[in-house]
Structures are given as structure tokens and as C-alpha cells.
Chain A
């Protein structure tokens, strides 16, 4: 296990402020973007990365009214804005602010460089029309979102070949914070996107209920049973492991560890494993989904949400899956509206997250009443449901409601609403890039193996590849097959 993972996961158990900070930043950015509806573009200076053959042409400010700024100054401005906001966030969550500022600078520039490299036309061009447009004869067809993979690889290289650098970057390696902000931002964009298709959106929401049942009541008991019965793990290790594999990775493992009054190191151990397996899933599942499920985009979206653990990796994988599947369908002449695949993956993840507190309370009650009544943490209290509730979800709900309300009341302003969603996406993409890079930096495979996690990994492999992925695919197929995203009109 890495020290970096350990310190962040441990601090996450005592500093739930991170959730509130993520919610506030996400809401603030979305509200600023919404002000664009009044004709004042307050965030148009943010940098947008394009597919390129000449690196000098790869960057530009998002807003047309800021075109005079130029690409590189726009990038510097975006960096400075994020540095200021996230340094303030670091102060709130009691991180070392000066150290955060220095290391965030390195994280931002490495991650963004990797992201920008992913826009190289030979990597990213999707369709024959784009090949012609950019004057290239071949492409890996990774789409612009292939930059996420490059950011992840950059992080992995640092973690596994330059562990000293990874340790130095520690203070700014905060994938949970970055992805929570991205999810809150995504809420607003989803609200705007679904306004015109409320029937489909409500169908997605209702079908997402199945994901909750599947994660908590099917996966969890099976993984727990396998870990206890066949691998001989203690209760203290098996419960966080079951939650990590079944529910949503790091957050669930930590919540469960706290609920059953396990030593914090046990949850940290599981969390490290979850991150490493999330990386493997990130490399595999979006490409499998686009290969076999391109004709059923929402089955793919649901599957990714159920199979990829940790919010960051799941939502990020949803983004890659959407890019790959939409590109494939565009090549076949089918133009799905963007946002539905990623929106479905995120909705499923958020629905699952909502019940972490309730499940942790159930486990806490059983452990402190029947299994270990003399536990030092005392009896479970109902207030633990709220304590363990992931508060950033409130930010997601609020931005979703704001986006939906704006779209329903301003139906005649579709281009302006789209601009708001696109502007939000600029920042969401940057936070995704930071998430991918951070996940990579936390994934020191050699160290993990050296620490003797082979047996834990075996449970993970058996559970994940033995049934989690397949049951998830089956359930996703049952509930989402035939449900297609709307076409671009």
C-alpha cells in the first residue's frame, strides 16, 4: 500500500468537509455559468482543448467573447483560477496550503499536458470526415477523451517508476475531491440535458433503483460470504472488502470500516486495492463496452456504473465509454445526443452512494449489538446515517434542480442553455483529468504486491470478474435494453 493512499484515506475518515467543499465549488461554478443566460459570460476565459495537428492551435478560450485572449494565456488563467479556489479548499479541509499550491501546480501541468497530448489528431480523430479535416491518414480513434487515458498513464508512470515524485505530489493527489466537484458540475449539465426528455430521464432514474438493490443486497452478501468462507478473512477485513467491491469503492470501504469500528488501516488497505483495480477496469471496460454494446448505449452506461468501483473511476469510465460509443455510432450514421451515457452512469453511481449511510448504519447496528457489543466505539446511533451520508450529493441534486428549472423555464433559449452546459463541461473535464492523473499516482502496483495483498486481490478478482461484472451486465441488459438516448435533432 502507498503512503499517499494511506494518508488521504485516513484523513478522509475525519474530514468530511471535503464533501461540503466539493459541493460549494461545484455549485458556485455552475451558478456562474448560469449567469451566462443573462448575457454576461463570466467563465468564458476557461481553456478549451481541441483536436490538433499543430500544438499552437490546440488551445483556445471557451467563450467567443474571450477569443482575443489566446490559448496559452487562457490556460494560465484557468490554472491560476483553479489554484486559488482549490488552495482555499485545501485550507478548509486543513491541508498544508503552501505545499498544496506547489504540488497542485505540478499536478495540473502534467495532467493537462497529458490531456492535451490526447487531442493529437493521430490519437483522437474519430471519423473519416475528421481525418480529412485534420489532414491525417490514420488515427487510433481514441476520441478526444483518450487524453484521460494518457493522464492516467502519466500518473501510473510516476507512481511505479518515480515513487519519490509520487510521494512529493501527495498533498495535491486528491481524486475524491476532484471527482466530487466534477459530479456536482455534472448534475447541472444533466439537468439541462434531460429537460427535453423527461420521460426518458425518469425511466433512467427508476431503472437505477435496480442498481441499489444489486449493489447492497446481491453483491455485498455474496462477496462477504466468499471472503469469510473461502478465503478465511476476519470480519474486520471482510466487511470493508465487501463494501469496497460491491458498493462504491473507497468511500464505502471507509464508511463500513468506521461502522463496524474496524481499525482505520484495514479500510485503508481495502481502499488501496480498490483504486488499483479501478485502474484495470478503466483500461478494459470502456473499450469492451464500445466493442460489444455500442448498439445498446444505456446498457453500457449502466454496466459501467455497476462494474467500475470508486466514483471517480466509474464516472470517468462513463465519459470514455460515451465518447467511444458515440463515435462508433456517428461512423454508422447514428448521432446520439451527448450526455446521456455519462449521465446514466453518474445517476447510477449517485443512487448507490445515497444509501452508503443507511447500509453503514445497518452494519454498525449488527456489529455493535450482536457481534462485538463491547466495541470501544460504542453502540450505533441513527445519527451515523447522516454522518456517513456523502454530502456532495446534495450539491449534485441542487445543480441538477437548477439546470432542470432553467431549461424548463427558458425553453426558447436552447443555444444559451447549451452554452451553459458546455461551459460547465469545460471545468468538469479538467476535474476529470485531475482525477485520472491522481488515481494513476495512487496506484503503485509493485508496492501493493510487496505488501502482501495477493490474497485480498484474489477475492477481488474472483468477485469482480467472477460475478460482479456479469451480474451487472445481465441486470443492465434486463432494465436498459432497447432504451436509447435521443438522437440529435
Chain B
């Protein structure tokens, strides 16, 4: 396959600020993850797993 110019790809990318939808994705994922994990931990601690 044709080789991409990796250095340019990695170092030369123009700055792309985080969009609101990206912040939402990060926040919802993390919130959901921590919430679900907390539930699993409680369920585990109660011996239900």
C-alpha cells in the first residue's frame, strides 16, 4: 500500500478544538461508566454476583 507521510499526519495536524458533542460523548460515557461500575461494585459487595 502507499505509505502515508506519518510525521505530517501525526505532528502537522491542525488544532481541532473539542466540539460540544465530543465533550458530551466524553462526559456521558464517563458518567455512565462510573455509575454502572458503582452499581456492579455494590452488587458484588452484597454478594449478589
Contacts and interface: CB of A to CB of B under 8 A. Distances in A.
Interface of A: 1, 3, 6-7, 10, 203, 206-207, 209-210, 213-214, 216-218, 220-222, 224-225, 228-229, 232-235, 237, 263, 265-266, 268-269, 366, 370-371, 451-453, 455-456, 475, 478-479
B1 A3 contact: yes
A217 B36 contact: yes
Contacts of B16: 228, 234-235
Nearest to B31: A217
A456 B1 contact: no
Contacts of B25: 221, 224, 366
B7 A452 contact: yes
B30 A452 contact: no
B10 interface: yes
A220 B29 contact: yes
Contact of A207 (B1, B4, B9, B49): B49
A217 B10 contact: no
Interface in B1-17: 1, 3-4, 6-7, 9-11, 13-16
B9 A265 contact: yes
B44 A479 contact: yes
Nearest to A269: B6
A371 B19 contact: yes
Interface centre among B14, B26, B27, B32 (most CB of A within 10 A): B26
A478 B44 contact: yes
A370 B32 CA distance: 21
Nearest to A220: B29
30 contacts: A1-B6, A3-B1, A3-B3, A6-B3, A207-B49, A210-B37, A213-B33, A213-B40, A214-B33, A217-B29, A217-B36, A218-B30, A218-B34, A221-B26, A222-B30, A224-B22, A228-B22, A232-B13, A232-B15, A233-B13, A235-B16, A237-B9, A237-B10, A237-B13, A266-B9, A366-B21, A451-B6, A455-B10, A455-B11, A478-B44
Nearest to A228: B18
A333 B19 CA distance: 58
A360 B42 CA distance: 29
- The dominant DSSP class at the B interface is helix
Contacts of A232: 13, 15
Contacts of A206: 49
Given A7-B1, A237-B13, A265-B9, 4 more contacts: A3-B1, A218-B33, A221-B29, A228-B16
A214 B13 CA distance: 30
Contacts of B37: 210, 213-214, 218, 475
A229 B4 CA distance: 24
A370 B21 contact: yes
Contacts of B19: 370-371
B34 to A, nearest CB: 7
A216 B33 contact: yes
Contact of A371 (B6, B9, B15, B21): B21
Contacts of B11: 452, 455
Nearest to B38: A213
Contacts of B41: 478-479
Contacts of B34: 217-218
Nearest to B40: A210
The 9 A-B residue pairs whose C-beta atoms are closest, nearest first, are A217-B33, A452-B7, A265-B4, A221-B29, A221-B26, A218-B33, A370-B21, A234-B13, A451-B6
A410 B26 CA distance: 50
Given A216-B33, A371-B19, A479-B44, A225 B49 contact: no
Given A213-B33, A229-B18, A232-B13, A453 B26 contact: no
Nearest to A209: B40
Nearest to B48: A206
Interface centre among A210, A221, A232, A234 (most CB of B within 10 A): A221
Nearest to B4: A265
A224 B44 contact: no
Contact of B10 (A213, A228, A229, A453): A453
Contacts of B29: 216-217, 220-221
Interface centre among A7, A217, A266 (most CB of B within 10 A): A217
B33 to A, nearest CB: 3
Nearest to A212: B36
Contacts of A210: 37, 40
Contacts of A7: 1
Contacts of B26: 221, 224-225
